[in-house]
């Protein structure tokens, strides 16, 4: 008999829009993957490891070389002092890391604070672990929370808070004042922060990523999650990091051993090499993406679209109402892919309640010609909606 918890779940918006893009031959500016293949030297390191390295089970927490490299990387770039032996676990992607955290740390009935809009895997996993979601609602154009909002969702039953920073659906990074406020609430309520920081290297201009783990009182109560796939634009590799104090890491590892247990050792070796040898990539990659972001934004503005600020991630958002689109975001996105041949993501899909329905998310990690044609087709979609 089918499990009603899962049969009742909606199909993820990425499956819907990417499927429609394939069926119709549309340009896919929806799902966040780059057109380019990723750094050649790191791919060569992986190929070399397949031929000449170990292809049997690696250690369950990850190969020592990668765990050490991750600790060094976070020390250099974020000032964190992580013990690789007791505080770093390698996972098969950041989504598996999230599952480890939720399954290990949530007991049935625990309250979990989440911020809408949010990555669509959070709610199903929290509920399956027995958690009770408490949802805070962020709004454009700034997508920030404040003290009143936090007071409305934190309680004596709060066990976890889930923070995605930089925030995927909105392409924004939380300022230091907001992070300090959240740290204050976590300490006051003795809550653990599960920090999805997969976009930590994909920030632009003066934006600086500050991990919540670095704030006062948070070192012993934070689970920091990173993604080599996002760091190196190799989204199919699915190599993630779980970083936490030893007492938390111990229970996270116990969940990990019963999920994927290990991650391909050749990919781990290549990521370890990249973390130690590709500092130039972490400068060149966001600079190149910023050029693509600006190209897409300028093209959209020329066509009369209202573009929201993009500080981080592969994405920027259009304010549809201010752009002259009367339809809600889901209706417009479906029209755009079916009738104009361009796929985007309705940001309302990342809300459980009281959705913002006027924002469309686009991926700019694409070739220039793809972005230019995408703009032309979006303008056509808007004309068709009038």
Same domain, 285 and 269: no
Pair (14, 111) in one structural domain: no
* Together in a domain, 221 and 94: yes
| Final residue before a domain boundary, out of 258, 277, 296 | 277
Per-residue confidence (pLDDT) for residue 5, from 0 to 100 = 57
Q: Which pLDDT score, from 0 to 100, does residue 217 have?
A: 97
Q: Are residues 219 and 289 in the same domain?
A: no
Q: Which residue's entry shows tokens 């130039």?
A: 280
What string of DSSP letters covers 82-126?
A: --HHHHEEEESSHHHHHHHHHHHHPPTT-EEEEEES--TTHHHHH
Q: What is the pLDDT of residue 2?
A: 59
Q: Would you state the structure tokens that stand for residue 180, as one six-digit string? A: 């300090």
Residue numbers of the domain that contains 248: 40-277
**Domain stop point among 261, 277, 293:** 277
Q: CA–CA distance from 199 to each of 214, 312, 344 (Å)? A: 17, 7, 20
Domain count, the chain: 2
Please tell me whether residues 240 and 372 are part of one structural domain: no
What is the pLDDT at residue 9? 66
**Same domain flag for 363 and 221:** no
Whether omega before 141 lies within 30 degrees of 0, making that bond cis, reads yes
Distance separating alpha carbons of residues 216 and 220, to the nearest angstrom: 10
Which regions of the chain are under pLDDT 50?
Answer: 1
Kindly report the CATH number assigned to the domain that includes residue 332.
3.90.1150.10
- Pairing of the two strands 27-28 and 111-116: unpaired
Looking at residue 31, its pLDDT comes to 82
Which tokens sit at 86?
């007791």
pTM: 0.94
pLDDT number for residue 24: 87
218 and 301 belong to one structural domain:
no
């Amino acid at each position: 008999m089918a499990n009603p918890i899962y049969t009742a779940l909606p199909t993820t918006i990425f499956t819907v829009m990417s499927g429609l893009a394939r069926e119709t031959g549309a340009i896919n500016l929806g799902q966040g993957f780059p057109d380019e293949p990723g750094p050649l030297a790191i791919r060569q390191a992986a190929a070399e490891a397949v031929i000449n390295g170990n292809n049997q089970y690696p250690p369950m927490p990850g190969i020592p070389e990668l765990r050490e490299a991750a600790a060094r990387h976070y020390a250099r770039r974020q000032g964190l002092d992580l013990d690789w032996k007791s505080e770093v676990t390698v996972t098969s992607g950041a989504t598996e890391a999230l599952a480890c955290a939720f399954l290990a740390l949530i007991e049935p009935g625990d309250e979990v604070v989440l911020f809408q809009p949010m990555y669509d895997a959070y709610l199903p996993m929290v509920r399956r672990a027995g958690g009770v979601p408490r949802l805070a609602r962020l709004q454009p154009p700034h997508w920030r929370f404040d003290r009143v909002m936090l007071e409305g969702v934190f309680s004596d039953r709060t066990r976890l808070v889930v923070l995605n920073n930089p925030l995927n659906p909105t392409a924004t990074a939380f300022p230091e004042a907001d992070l300090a406020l959240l740290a204050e609430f976590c300490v006051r309520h003795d809550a653990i922060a599960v920090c999805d920081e997969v976009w930590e290297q994909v920030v632009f201009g003066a934006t600086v990523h500050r991990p919540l783990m670095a704030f006062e009182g948070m070192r012993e109560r934070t689970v920091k999650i990173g993604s080599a796939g996002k760091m190196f634009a190799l989204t199919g590799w699915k190599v993630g990091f779980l970083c936490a104090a030893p007492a938390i890491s111990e229970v996270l590892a116990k969940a990990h051993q019963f999920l994927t247990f290990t991650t391909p050792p050749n990919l781990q070796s290549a990521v370890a090499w990249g973390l130690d040898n590709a500092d130039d990539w972490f400068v060149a990659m966001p600079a190149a993406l910023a050029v693509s972001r600006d190209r897409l934004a300028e093209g959209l503005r020329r066509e009369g679209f209202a573009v929201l600020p993009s500080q981080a991630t592969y994405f920027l958002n259009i304010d549809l109402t201010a752009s002259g689109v009367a339809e809600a975001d889901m209706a417009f996105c479906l029209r755009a892919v079916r009738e104009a041949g361009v796929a985007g993501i309705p940001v309302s899909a990342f809300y459980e309640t009281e959705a913002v329905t006027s924002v469309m998310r686009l991926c700019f990690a694409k070739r220039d010609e793809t972005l230019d044609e995408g703009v032309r087709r979006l303008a056509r979609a808007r004309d068709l909606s009038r």
